[in-house]
Structure 1
Amino acid sequence: MADTEIRKRLELGAKEKIDGPFSNVIHGHPALDEMREKHPEAYIDMLKYRANGFEHEARKVAEEHGIEFRGWYRRYDAAEIDDFGDWFQDGDKPESETVSAADRMMSGLLDADGLEDIPDPEWLIKGWLTRDTLARINGEPNTGKSLVALDWAGCVGTGTLWHGCATEKGTVLYVIAEGVRGFKKRKRAWVKHHAKAMSGVLFYPEPIQVKKPDSPKAVDQWATLAEVCAKIKPVLIVLDTQSRVTVGVEENSNTEMGVIVARLEAMRRLTGACVLLAHHTPKGGEGGRGAGAMSGAINTEFQMVKKGRGLSSIMTLENTKEKDEEDGRKILLRFKVYNVGDEDPYDLDEPMTSVVLVHEEDDSAEDVIPVITDSDDNRSKFRSIIEQVWPVGRFTQAQACGLAQDHGGMKKPTAYRIWGHLVETEFIEPVPHATTGNPTEKYRIKRGAVG
């Protein structure tokens, strides 16, 4: 059956004023009827990416044949897109020679009832990320943006809860555009923390440029990625970072960034995925650096702020913009250290370590291996153990002294004597009871304490 024949039939149904559902128009065509009955999944996919206004029909067929209906996204197979470069440049698929641009636009017009067929937002991570959107996480360098993005990717790829929030399991494509070598350690730390393989996540360890190349002979990397996405069908695409995938683009120019937005939006329409960018903020400022054309197009935006230094830092992840839901969600995170190898290539005397971000209230010390230097005195060792295992957590005297013996090589009397010294010098303090304010048996590092 010719593609033009299908399109004409479907577009006719979208334009004509008829009583009842569009299925009255679709039905009656022998080729379409046969496809509907013998190949219902292909029929549903055809409706998804060939015409607007047919979600009612698609849902009906899915229900009749017991097919799970997973959203209303425009998906294209690589072989069905004639020219990816032109498609992404213009923001849509080239018009059919047999259908005018005006007729095509008219086929997309919806009345008030037609709006009801537009699907509701589908959570990718409940309360945080939705499918079929552009999202961005902003922050100064070394504030944990990539750690959050990698955690989101791992949780979506494996269907793992993210800090208690449900995830929609699916394929994730992660473009590592900078800091490639450190990602192996971060991945290992994630695997140890969650005690499972990071399945469902595909990494591309090189920058992929969103901008269409000026030379017609150059490879359009974004168009090539579109072909890949049409095959792997990701639900989350991470671009880490924005600046490294937009090389040569003036980020303060609304004109140039507007073209980038159009290509990002085209990828979103192609895949129905959440396209997530990691981006830098101006030093000491808030929001993403650069033109307003980008920030205005973003559906969901996050701000990452770090307070403190080293392993005792506290990171705040806040949802600062949300077009379709309530914004303002916030979570406090801290580092948790894991041994991820036999030895550190930069220091053969120390184990290789990396970190994950855990909730600030997570006091667990399980599997955390503190890095201790033999040349340190016992007091420095004890302080280092506490800073690495419980940078913001709560711990008992028995827990801390036990680790000092196990990892610091101290005898029990020495460990308890140094504990007393750390209390006296106010490096650590008792945690007050939430109601009475009286000291409890749990301790914490005193805010502002200097080791």
Structure 2
Amino acid sequence: MTENSIIRFGCEATAYSRKLETLFASDLMRKPRPHDWLVRGFLEHDTLVLLFGDPAVGKSLLALDWAASVATGRDWCGNRVERGLVFYLAGEGHHGLSRRLKAWGIATGMECLRGEELWDMPLVVSRHSVGLPSETRMAIEAIDKAADRGGKPRLIIIDTLARCIDGNENSASDMGGFIAACDEMRRRYGCAVLILHHSGHENKNRARAHSSLTCAVDAAYHMHGLNSGIRRLDCTKSKDFEPPAARHFIIHKTLLPPEWWDGNAPTTVPVLVECDESGKAINEPPPF
């Protein structure tokens, strides 16, 4: 391995300093490891997770829903959530995240329950994308700084792969570098790393990019739209747990308070709301 390849894969601090940890099978069996859920049934700690789908299908809305649920400890769709710091690497759409967070608080009722305290939740959002793996160190320094205030991160979100990968997503070597950078962050914090990406151009049921991406992740989820306008979330890979049943969602337009309006024009922001297969909301959000 040359010096350049070490830097390229974002491993300059670990390539020669990390030691290979080993266990005899007898020791392994004396230390049972039950599932360590972040979002029960969907996201585990210390895993690499892929969420893919077409543009504008609701991937970022789901990622923000997971992020805010973890940052507040709110159950997600009836599933227990472990609260902790979330670090959101926003490669796109970061200007609208404040409005979406406000709408999430209104639609979930969390703003009424917790008021201003809600906005002290440990959710940190980057103001620009980073290149992975070349800027892995910069990302880790920012996460470490956030951890000094909010504790060890439970979830890191990369939105999106296309905006954060160095090079060509169809290249085995470029994808290898990106995955190595994600794994470096996962190992450092023992957290879940969620990667948002787009569906394939021809096969919508798989993620775009080199096949090594799907091979590398521990779990994968496909968000896609149905003819009725309902969004469906399917688990397409779950390496170490029983795949959860499909979930259905509608996109609810949430009215923001007047101080968030553009002049006198009322401003509404989309929020993902769980529904049944017919499109009826399971927990009806507040009316306008």
The reply to whether residue 329 of structure 1 matches residue 245 of structure 2 is yes
Residue aligning to 1:255: 173
The CA distance in 2 between the partners of 1:86 and 1:139, in whole Å, is: 29
* 1:89 correspondence with 2:5: no
Counterpart in 1 of 2:123?
Answer: 201
Q: Cα gap change, 1:364/1:294 in structure 2, threshold over 3 Å: closer, same or farther?
A: closer
1:136 aligned to 46, 50, 58, which one? 50
Where do residues 314-393 of structure 1 align in structure 2 (5 Å cutoff)?
314-342=230-258, 344-345=261-262, 348=263, 350-360=265-275, 361-362=280-281, 367-369=286-288
* C-alpha separation in 2, matches of 1:146 and 1:209: 19
> How far apart are 1:344 and its partner, in Å?
4.5
2-structure distance, mates of 1:366, 1:140: 25
3-state SS of 2:193 partner: strand
Q: Does 1:192 align with 2:110?
A: no
Give the structure 1 partner of residue 28 of structure 2: 115
* In structure 1, distance between residues paired with 2:285 and 2:173: 51
| Identity across matched positions, percent | 29
C-alpha distance in 1 between matches for 2:128 and 2:190 = 23
Equivalent residue, structure 2, for 1:235: 154
Alignment of 1:161 onto 2:75: yes
**How far does the alpha carbon of each residue in 1:67-92 deviate from its partner, in whole angstroms, 9 at most, with x for none?**
xxxxxxxxxxxxxxxxx969932683
**Unmatched tracts of structure 2, length 5 or more:** 1-5, 111-117
| More strand per residue | 2
Alpha carbons of structure 1 residues 306 and 274: separation in structure 2 relative to 1, 3 Å: same
Taking structure 1 as reference, are residues 174 and 333 closer, same or farther at Cα in structure 2, changes over 3 Å only? same
Worse-matched range after superposition: 223-232 or 260-269? 223-232
CA contact (8 A) 2:9 2:133 kept: no
Task: Give the deviation of 1:175 after TM superposition.
Answer: 1.3
CA RMSD between the two structures: 2.3
Shift of 1:192: 0.5
1:240 to 1:194, Cα distance in 2 relative to 1, 3 A: same
Contact 1:321 1:328 in 2 (8 A): no
Match for residue 229 of structure 2 among 313, 325, 330: 313
More helix per residue: 1
The equivalent residue for 2:220 is 301
Q: How far is 1:195 from its partner?
A: 2.7
CA contact 1:91–1:263 (8 Å) conserved in 2: no
Partner residue of 1:373?
A: none
The answer on whether the counterparts of 2:106 and 2:254 sit within 8 Å (CA) in structure 1 is yes
Alpha-carbon distance in structure 2 between the residues aligned to 1:350 and 1:239: 33
Displacement of 1:133 after TM fit? Answer: 0.4
3-state secondary structure, aligned to 1:202: strand
Change in Cα spacing, 1:364 to 1:262, as seen in structure 2 (3 Å) is: closer
CA drift at 1:142: 0.4
2:40 partner letter: K
Deviation readout 1:312-365 (Å, 9 max, x if unpaired): 6200011110110012521010122211142653xx553101121111142665
What is the letter of the counterpart of residue 11 of structure 2?
Q
Q: Could you say what secondary structure the match of 1:88 adopts?
A: coil
Compute the displacement of 1:245 (Å): 0.6
- The verdict on how the C-alpha distance between 1:319 and 1:365 changes in structure 2, with shifts beyond 3 A counting, is closer
Amino acid at match of 1:224: M
User: Which of these residues, 273, 278, 284, is aligned with residue 196 of structure 2?
Assistant: 278
CA deviations on 1:280-328 (whole Å, 9 max, x unpaired) are 01235222101011110000100000124xxx62000111101100125
- Partner of 2:133: helix, strand, or coil? coil
Amino acid at match of 1:204: S
> TM-score if structure 1 supplies the norm length?
0.55
TM-score by length of 2: 0.84
Match of 2:139 in 1: 225
Q: How far, CA to CA, are the matches of 2:283 and 2:76 in structure 1?
A: 17
Give 1:113's aligned amino acid. Answer: S
1:186 is displaced (CA, Å) by: 0.9
* Cα distance in 1 between the residues matched to 2:60 and 2:26: 42
The answer as to whether partners of 1:185 and 1:353 remain within 8 angstroms in 2 is no
1:152 aligns with 2:66: yes
The 1:145–1:366 alpha-carbon spacing in structure 2 relative to 1, beyond 3 Å, is closer
C-alpha contact 1:87 1:94 (8 A) present in aligned 2: no
Q: Does the Cα contact within 8 Å between 1:229 and 1:271 map onto a contact in 2?
A: no
Question: Which structure: larger Rg?
Answer: 1
In structure 2, the partner of 1:124 is 38
Alpha carbons of structure 1 residues 235 and 276: separation in structure 2 relative to 1, 3 Å = same
Match of 2:164 in 1: 245
Q: How many residues align?
A: 263
